[in-house]
Every structure is written in C-alpha cells, then in structure tokens.
Copies of this chain bind each other. A is one copy, B any other.
C-alpha cells in the first residue's frame, strides 16, 4: 500500500524469505506489503451516534464513522482518539474493542471501539463535510460509506446496555466487498 514516482518493481522471493515480494529494480528495496490497520470509534452521546459525511474519495458524500489509518508508533487507542478529533473535533472516552474486521481484498483490518462522546460542539475536519449525531432510527443505512461501518453500527446495537461485551468480527461470510 505505497505510492511511488518513477520506481520500477519486480516480483521475486528475497533471500531468506519464502514468499514473492515487490523488489525495486533500481535500488533493491523490498516493499513488504502487510495489511494496513484502520482505527475508529462508534461514539455515543444521549443514545445518539456520531457520523461524519466524507469530503474525500472513496465514497465522497457518504456517511462514515470517525476512522482512519493508524500512524507509525501510535497505539490503536491513540489512533482511534486522534481520528475522532481530526474528523469531528470530538473528544471520546474508549469503552472497549467493539469489532475487529478484516477486508482482505484491500488488505485492511478495521478495529472499532465503543466510545462515549464527551464533546458537545462538533467541528468537522478537512476530510469531513459534516459531523453530526444520529438517533438510531435516523441512521442513513443506504448512505453508509463502507461495509465495516454498517457492521460496527449493527454490533454496537447488540452491546447497548452491556458494560462488558465480546469483540465482534466480520459477519459470517462477509469479506467487506463494497456494496454497489
């Protein structure tokens, strides 16, 4: 999951390795492609859930939970809190791991926390057109950005009223392909 300019890569098995990797033809750099981690929150205040409307592709204009790629040397919890802050100006108190979802097609793993939203004034960041709270019967199910957003919201509903709850994973048979 990298970007390059003018680089040319060949696929070969590096010395001491067992799998083919992308190796730069120019400098020998080995581009180990490991799945990328996304950290996010289902943040709740007054039984309403915080959603952001995406200002960027993919799925621009669709609603999502605050979430994004974990940065280097960041814990999952720090990443989840940072994304809530960056995308919605929201301070959150994490209550536990709600779901660990794999999207193998795009080599991503999404970790969502159930969280209490502490902020009353939301402030959408650069990647959000809007940030607002939705009561359960207001959630725009048909306008959610990604399958894992739907899963996390559904799994949140199952945990309501429970102080402790098991972490969920992908619904059976679901691999996170986009809904058309």
A residues 47-97 touching B (CB-CB < 8 Å): 69-78, 96-97
Query: Which label, helix, strand, loop or mixed, suits the secondary structure of the A interface?
Result: loop
Determine how many copies of this chain the complex contains: 2
A150 on interface, CB distance cutoff 8 Å: no
With A166-B166, A167-B166: A109-B76 Cβ-Cβ less than 8 Å: yes
| B residues less than 8 Å from A167 (CB atoms) | 96-97, 100, 166-167
Q: Tell me which of A27-35, A115-123, A134-142 binds B.
A: A27-35
Spell out A's residues near B (CB within 8 Å): 1-8, 14, 19, 24, 26-37, 69-78, 96-97, 100, 102, 104-105, 107, 109, 111, 164-167, 169-170, 175
